[in-house]
Amino acid sequence: MCSHCSDRIATLMDSAINGRLSKDELLMLLKPEFRPGFLRKCAAIETRFTDECAALDDPCLASGCSVAAVPGEACLQPLLWRETEYRSACGAEWIEIIRNPAARSLPH
């Protein structure tokens, strides 16, 4: 791999782990066949954040949490409240995938 490419990957990994790249931005840097696995991992993170929020028993809706009793359902609010942490968690999953050069779909 050329040093320029290696530097670029390292910069992207740093941005990913520090929550500076969105899930969609990371997704587009993967070849299509690697995208479903990444999305499943992010969905699991979204569910975890939702479950952690629901466990606080302080719903953002007056009528109560709209997804607390729905297994596997994710809520946007905890992702917005903890956006950098969420992006970092997805970034960590992306890094595990992107370490495989075959997974990379980097624009030139």
Q: How many CA atoms lie within 13 A of 91 on its CB side?
A: 21
- Identify the domain containing residue 63 by its residue range: 3-103
Q: How many domains does the chain have?
A: 1
Give the CA radius of gyration of the chain. 16
Q: Report yes or no on 108 lying in a domain.
A: no
Q: Report yes or no on 82 lying in a domain.
A: yes
Give the pLDDT score at 6. Answer: 75
**Tens place of pLDDT per residue across the chain (108 aa):** 555 567 889 999 999 999 999 999 999 999 999 999 999 999 999 999 998 988 888 888 888 777 877 777 888 999 999 999 999 999 999 999 999 999 999 765
**42 vs 37: CA distance, rounded Å:** 9
pLDDT single digits (tens) 83-99? 999 999 999 999 999 99
Q: Report yes or no on 17 lying in a domain.
A: yes
The pTM for the full model equals 0.88
Q: Report yes or no on 97 lying in a domain.
A: yes
